[in-house]
Amino acid sequence: MPFLRLMTARLTTVGLRIAALATAALLLPVNGQTQCTPAADSILDQNFSLATLCSLVDKDSTNPRLLKPIPLGENWELQPGAKIELRKEIRTNFNMQHIEGTQTYDKPRFLYGLINAMITNKKKDKSIFLELYGVYPNNYNPAWDPYESCERGLLQAWYEYKFPNSPWSVKIGRQCLPNMGEMRLMGEGRYYWHYNAHDGVVATRKTDKMATYLIAAYMYTFKGRDEYTGRNFGQQMRPANKFLTGVYNTWYLPKKYEFDLYNLNVHTFEASPYRSSDGTTGRAQMYGFGSRVRGPLYHKKDLGTLIWGTEAMTQVGNYGGDSKVFTYMLHGDLIWKFDKPWDPSIMLFGNIASGNKDPLSNKINRFDVQLDPSHYAYGLVNVVKLTNMNEIGVAFQVQPNKKTTIRTSAHQFWLNSAKDAWIGADGRTIAWDVTGSSGRDLGRELDLMAKYEFNSHWSIECGGGYFFTGNFGKNVGHGADSWTVYCHQIFNF
């Protein structure tokens, strides 16, 4: 522990200085992360940010290995691996609980470590994977969340079998769920909540023209509040009282088009705390149906390509006793990718996620992200979630070279329903006016981030974001602005 603390202090001090210089030069800050490979043409993709804790071990892995496989007899081999992440932040009003003119500052540091091993037979059709994690945060302000000083545990433990002469495979055990679509619905791991690893079974069928995932998983997540008692917790991984089932299909069509069709369902095991408007409790059953399309619309040689993307999902079912569920989510974007040096791209995008029109009725209209918390691209200060939210924005990205990526974005947020709550990125309720008299203006955000890959084993990302609180927050006593600057490094072994 003394060595780890010394290493963390030195590296995060360097990271802090880099972040401060970037902020001073660019005037804006951001934050970010993600966990895998979305549509290749999206400039707001999940691969840009760094904090991905679920290791990728298949053939398109982005977690390279330094050590060579160790033979285990004639038919098996052991591939060891590891990852270390260091993050330093300076942020203010992190939980948006302050009135206008007041602030709370904290300067947390985070050290994450992963150690894993994969045993594979010579035919590559049978694999066993084990991964342990350690999390060591310090120098944080407990006012914004009751995190513990450290935590260690089991992240993944699964067995995979690939059927001979078949595109099918099945994976059983605790695992990170596969990447599906552009990951709006399946919340990616973030450095506060670490990951979304779940106990279950995933059957996969992959060909050059189609990918299919059949999922049945008992959901674990990092939540700041226990759903049974309402008691606050820190970082512990715990059951989310939910079971996820569904099927997700992606077709790879001619002319670089992608088309998704999916069904994702959430079932709860316990009646509490799912309480309907009449005061009775019951299990929640939500059935989700959606589709996604992405592809090029127009191309002009030496000028660029126009790309469009859209996604829509609806959820129906029952919540608690007699409450009926009907929610929806809509996304749309247009991207122009210039055929110019530095590969500049500009994106216009918008999101709509429904909220409760009447919180006192027996109708549930608040869209629910299946595996929260979900951050994705809804601003990088982490105060908005794809729930009871409308958003429009613009993003611009350049790549001066193969190792460097720079992106800036601007967002405008509103409540979808003025009578429903403002939900933060971690799922907590920031503020709520059931009368609807405080308006819908949540605020605006400006983000800037830069990433540099030294090599396949070492990368660094620095940046920050500033959230200008809107009229809704000011009217309900949460009017202080919020900002974050950070620096994040990842080392893969």
Q: Which CATH number do you get for residue 331? A: 2.40.160.100
Question: In angstroms, rounded to a whole number, what is the distance separating the alpha carbons of residues 306 and 164?
Answer: 41
Q: Are 319 and 276 in contact (CB under 8 A)?
A: yes
Q: How confident is the model over 389-446, as pLDDT tens digits?
A: 999 999 999 999 999 999 999 999 999 999 999 988 777 788 999 899 999 999 999 9
Strand, helix or coil for residue 41: coil
- pTM metric for this prediction: 0.82
Residue 370: closest CA among 424, 324, 315? 315
Strand ranges for 49-196 from DSSP E: 70-72, 76-92, 105-106, 109-121, 126-138, 151-162, 168-176
**49/51 Cα distance (integer angstroms):** 6
Q: How is residue 435 written in tokens?
A: 């009368």
The pLDDT value recorded for residue 37 is 33
Q: Report the pLDDT value the prediction gives residue 75, as an integer from 0 to 100.
A: 93
Q: Which of 371, 377, 362 is nearest to 288 (CA)?
A: 371
pLDDT at 303: 92
CA angle 9, 12, 14 (to 5 degrees): 110
Give SS3 for 6: helix
Helix and strand numbers, DSSP H then E, in the chain:
2, 23
What residues make up the domain containing 36? 2-492
- Per-residue pLDDT of the chain (493 residues), as tens digits, is 443 344 334 433 433 333 333 323 222 222 322 233 333 344 444 333 333 444 444 433 445 678 889 999 999 999 999 989 888 888 888 777 777 777 777 787 888 888 999 999 999 999 999 999 887 777 655 444 444 456 778 889 999 999 999 999 999 999 888 877 777 776 555 444 455 678 999 999 999 999 999 999 987 654 444 343 343 433 444 556 788 999 999 999 999 999 999 999 988 876 555 555 566 666 788 899 999 999 999 999 889 999 999 999 999 998 776 788 999 999 999 999 999 999 999 999 999 999 999 877 788 899 987 665 455 568 888 888 889 999 999 999 999 999 999 999 999 999 999 999 998 877 778 899 989 999 999 999 999 999 999 998 899 999 999 999 999 999 998 888 999 999 989 898 8
Place of tokens 């150690």: 115
Q: In this structure, are strands 429-431 and 105-106 parallel, antiparallel, or unpaired?
A: unpaired
* Rounded CA separation 154/100 (Å): 42
Give Cα 336 distance to the centre of its chain. 25
Q: Cα torsion at 455, 456, 459, 465 (round to 10°)? A: 120
Supply the pLDDT for residue 120: 95
pLDDT of 264: 93
User: What is the reported pLDDT for 385?
Assistant: 86
SS3 of residue 17 by DSSP: helix
Q: Count structural domains, the chain.
A: 1
Quote the tokens at residue 22. 């970037």
